[in-house]
Structure 1
Amino acid sequence: MYTALSLQRSLKQQLARGETEIVVVNPDPYMTYQPFLPEAAAGSISPRHVVVPLRRTLSACKVVTGEVRTVDHARRVAGIETLAAAEEGADPVELRYDELVLAPGSVSRTLPVPGLAEHGIGFKTVEEAIGLRNHVLEQLDIASSTRNPEVRDAALTFVFVGGGYAGVEALAELEDMARYACRYYHNLQPDDVRFLLVEASDRILPEVGAEMGAYALRELRGRNIDVRLDTRLDSCEGRVAVLSDGSRHPTRTLVWTAGVKPHPILAATGLPLNERGRLRCTARLRVEGTEHAWSAGDCAAVPDVAARAKGDPDAYCAPNAQHAVRQARRLADNIAAVLKGGEPADYRHSYAGSVASLGLHKGVAHVYGRKLKGYPAWFMHRAYHLSRVPTFNRKARVLAEWTLAGLFKREIVSLGSLEHPRAEFELAAGTGRHPEAS
């Protein structure tokens, strides 16, 4: 989306004259700003404001809602399965192109853990974030209404696997929300709720450095969050999380945030991939050894020119939002330069640092060599991401929601029925009477 947005600005005249066409193919008609998913799950931001509508933002582009199934770069043809084709069972539509930008991002990396497919919950999309929020609040309702102590304990136990950005921020925000919500239940106390973080390595949040990662660990444990380092999830069959340290934890909530992998479509393109499945790219963001093919973001293995200049000959850009946004803009400039007969330039960016939220008014940051924690780090986290979320419209809406959230109490409403909106009507139509009458 950032590449197309920059291209429609730099090629404004060519687009107006009909000399150039920019086609954006995406399974959803929006782009998700993933750093805001934890706050959306906690209810601090409306789900609608975590996503950016492509058709409004990319008004000069042609937006196609569908999935790329095949790429024949020798013929410069992409096979696209549109929504209509999927419903009708038709073959993918062929779309010809002159320049190809592959930026499908990444998907959740799962492991063959027994029971994970049946009981695990991901945290990669806005749908998963809102579904998880509804699920957590529903578990509080179950725990409050049951007389079975085993069901109650399982409902109040929340297991998160993965101690990176996604896992720690999601756990911290939802833990804040769940303990706050307990005050509105007559028979639940904040200490009744149990959160467990499972991490296979010896530390959490490696992106913010060892010192800030250690602080985050102390902060979480100080909030009565059970953090298990050097520990793996061996099984979650029967809604029981079995860990490699031998412990067993009955739970109705298991959130999987243990890493990502490049999108599977890359394997169907025939373009050169590295050992991790990412596209081999040059510093100019071209696919290595391939003309008219470009890439950026999580799926691209881009040489880190700044790090290599400092003596690391094998450095590559980390697959994070900081690099992805900047690569997208450089990529757009490079394509525009080539179309106008110029030369592309190398992508160069020195890593600025990292910020992470640990819940409301709590955070850690390691930016330009400065280490912050607590409220200053949390404020920097919000300020940074507010500056990076695209379009003034979204910035204003997010800022307004944060302001209102500071003035009023937190929302604790669960709208789980939204995930099955026709259930009540189907029941009424099947029985011939309203379900409440039974």
Structure 2
Amino acid sequence: MPQNSTVPKILIVGGGYAGFYTAWKLEKHLRKGEAEVTMVDPLPYMTYQPFLPEVAAGSIEARHSVVAHRRHLKRTNVLTAKVTGIDHANKVATITPPLGDPYEFAYDQIVVTAGAVSRTFPIPGIADNAIGLKTIEEAVAIRDRLMSNFDKAASVPAGPERDRLLTVVVVGGGFAGIEVFAELRSLASSLLAKYPNLTFEDTHFHLIEAMGRIMPEVSLKTSEWVLKDLAKRGANVHLDTQLTSAVGGNVELSTGETIPTDLIVWTAGVMANPTVVRGGDLPVEERGRIQTRADLRVGTADDIVEGAWAAGDVSAVPDLSGGGVGGMCVPNAQHAVRQAKLLAKNLVAVLRGEKPKEYFHKNLGAVAGLGLYNGVFQSGKIALKGFVAWVAHRGYHGLAMPTWERKFRVLWGWWNNLWLGRDLVNLQTVQNPRYVFEEFAARPRPAADAAPAAPKVEAPAKAEEKKPEPAATK
């Protein structure tokens, strides 16, 4: 974008929850010509991550759980690229586009909302065989893998190979892990009706959790109800258990048990985006997040880094309600969205010489879907379970989805599924879309297979001309 304007330039690093909402609300609060806003993210859309378990289960169309940046950010300069360096001392960021060389981008205010990535440990086989649940692509891949495995399992006799194909292992017993675990169990039960030669006993679901309980966001009593509900559906939950190896798809546990599987889903925690955090000069706290004040400016209570802001999973924001872990807001969508909305207001206030407000949000509760028509809801001492909680789950997230256009698409999809059933189309081959074309495409023959050239026929040597003998002398 041209940078010859004299108005303040605001650079937003990351287009997830916090980044998208910051840009969206800045468009609302900024006067025309008051500032230029640029948002940089390697993806052209924001992913509504609470919907990923339902996408993995085929209950929500993948495209409906993302929000296109360019469609809904009318006055923001959207760059599909990565920010690979931040030199805030000179207020310059390094932007690396998918094509071309990196270049420098000068700014006046920077908003770091780069989010988080899956946090893994150096366990043998995890990097090669597991799949996370942070992106829409991962959710789709999980769904298609499970459905493809049903197709394969239906064509092999009962035995170790069939068991491996129909075994799912989820690592991590937090909300994301429990939700995707329960949703996949629900999907597998739906698929069984389409495969008469497969039975419920052929499917095996295992959840691995290193702690002695699941879902720390809810009460112990509620989490125990979830465990009992999962057990009724044939799920195996391994508490106080660690995964020690996943080489070759063989999940080895600290209990000595080995579980052969073709689908390992990793949901055991997140960490702040290391590319952005380590590639800059903004202050970082001990857990690898950007040190952030309660008013969402970067810094500490006694020291402000002028012109720098942060929000969402990449930031360490004090939880003034007293309910955070270690005194900080936990990394979830509830905080990211609300922080972004306040950040936009505070940034505009500072540009106008006004005082920013501190972020305060008391956790409203937690709600989780556990497959079709089943869920759990906890708010204080109030706990709802089963169908009522499932309705609350869908109601909350349906309304929380940004923009009415996206809300309508999600709600319309749910309405269709209510009458038509879950969509069970498997599109795993979309990950290799040219396989049919490549199989039958005509190719030039290799030189060795070409028709042999006609042998070269050499012209016969000319007969040596005889010189005429001299006439006889009489």
* SS of structure 2 residue aligned to 1:346: coil
Aligned to 2:430: 418
Query: 1:142: how far off?
Result: 1.1
* SS of structure 1 residue aligned to 2:277: helix
Aligned match for 1:60, one of 67, 70, 75: 75
Q: Please give the alpha-carbon distance, in whole angstroms, between the structure 1 residues aligned to 2:138 and 2:285.
A: 30
Aligned to 1:361: 373
Residues 363 and 373 of structure 1 are in contact (CA less than 8 Å); yes or no, is this contact kept in structure 2? yes
Question: Would you say 1:8 and 2:27 are equivalent positions?
Answer: yes
Map 1:204-215 → 2, pairs under 5 A: 204-215=214-225
Deviations 1:217-251 (A, max 9, x none): 11111111000000011111122111000001111
* SS of structure 2 residue aligned to 1:83: coil
Deviations 1:306-353 (A, max 9, x none): 218xxx995111111111110000000000101111110101111111
Amino acid at match of 2:405: N
Query: 1:253: how far off?
Result: 1.1
Map 1:206-355 → 2, pairs under 5 A: 206-264=216-274, 265-288=276-299, 289-307=304-322, 315-355=327-367
Q: Please give the alpha-carbon distance, in whole angstroms, between the structure 2 residues aligned to 1:393 and 1:252.
A: 37
Structure 1 residues 416 and 313: CA distance shift in structure 2, 3 A: closer
Amino acid at match of 2:122: P
Amino acid at match of 2:417: A
Structure-2-length-normalised TM-score: 0.86
Q: Please give the alpha-carbon distance, in whole angstroms, between the structure 2 residues aligned to 1:173 and 1:313.
A: 28
Query: Sequence identity of aligned pairs in percent?
Result: 46
Query: 1:378: how far off?
Result: 0.9
Q: Matched residue pairs, number?
A: 421
Question: Which is further off, 391-400 or 313-322?
Answer: 313-322
Residues 66 and 81 of structure 1 are in contact (CA less than 8 Å); yes or no, is this contact kept in structure 2? yes
Q: Please give the alpha-carbon distance, in whole angstroms, between the structure 2 residues aligned to 1:209 and 1:59.
A: 43
Query: 1:367: how far off?
Result: 1.8
* SS of structure 1 residue aligned to 2:128: helix
Amino acid at match of 2:21: Y
Deviations 1:49-100 (A, max 9, x none): 0000000111110000000000000111111111222xxxx2x121111100
Amino acid at match of 1:261: M
Amino acid at match of 2:163: D
Query: 1:3: how far off?
Result: 0.6
Amino acid at match of 1:306: S
Residues 208 and 364 of structure 1 are in contact (CA less than 8 Å); yes or no, is this contact kept in structure 2? no
Q: Please give the alpha-carbon distance, in whole angstroms, between the structure 2 residues aligned to 1:29 and 1:143.
A: 37
Query: 1:149: how far off?
Result: 1.6
Map 1:31-430 → 2, pairs under 5 A: 31-85=46-100, 90=101, 92-147=102-157, 149-264=159-274, 265-288=276-299, 289-307=304-322, 315-429=327-441
Residues 353 and 369 of structure 1 are in contact (CA less than 8 Å); yes or no, is this contact kept in structure 2? no
Residues 334 and 343 of structure 1 are in contact (CA less than 8 Å); yes or no, is this contact kept in structure 2? yes
Question: Which is further off, 186-195 or 277-286?
Answer: 186-195
Q: Please give the alpha-carbon distance, in whole angstroms, between the structure 2 residues aligned to 1:204 and 1:360.
A: 20
* SS of structure 2 residue aligned to 1:306: coil
Q: Please give the alpha-carbon distance, in whole angstroms, between the structure 1 residues aligned to 2:95 and 2:279.
A: 13
Query: 1:399: how far off?
Result: 0.7
* SS of structure 2 residue aligned to 1:145: coil
Structure with greater proportional helix content: 1
Residues 180 and 190 of structure 1 are in contact (CA less than 8 Å); yes or no, is this contact kept in structure 2? no
Unmatched 5+ stretches in structure 1: 434-438
Q: Please give the alpha-carbon distance, in whole angstroms, between the structure 2 residues aligned to 1:323 and 1:157.
A: 35
Question: Would you say 1:21 and 2:40 are equivalent positions?
Answer: no
Q: Please give the alpha-carbon distance, in whole angstroms, between the structure 2 residues aligned to 1:238 and 1:144.
A: 22
Greater Rg, structure 1 or structure 2?
2
Query: 1:148: how far off?
Result: 6.4
Structure 1 residues 55 and 136: CA distance shift in structure 2, 3 A: same
Query: 1:186: how far off?
Result: 2.2
Residues 42 and 133 of structure 1 are in contact (CA less than 8 Å); yes or no, is this contact kept in structure 2? yes
Amino acid at match of 2:25: S
Deviations 1:157-184 (A, max 9, x none): 1111101111111111111011111111
Structure 1 residues 324 and 422: CA distance shift in structure 2, 3 A: same
Unmatched 5+ stretches in structure 2: 1-19, 446-474
Query: 1:296: how far off?
Result: 0.5
Structure 1 residues 302 and 243: CA distance shift in structure 2, 3 A: same
Amino acid at match of 1:175: R
Query: 1:431: how far off?
Result: 6.0
Structure-1-length-normalised TM-score: 0.93
Give the ranges of 4+ consecutive aligned residues of structure 1 lying more than 4 Å apart after TM superposition. Answer: 430-433
Q: Please give the alpha-carbon distance, in whole angstroms, between the structure 2 residues aligned to 1:315 and 1:120.
A: 32
* SS of structure 2 residue aligned to 1:382: helix
Q: Please give the alpha-carbon distance, in whole angstroms, between the structure 2 residues aligned to 1:314 and 1:177.
A: 37
Question: Which is further off, 365-374 or 129-138?
Answer: 365-374
Query: 1:423: how far off?
Result: 2.3
Query: 1:368: how far off?
Result: 4.5
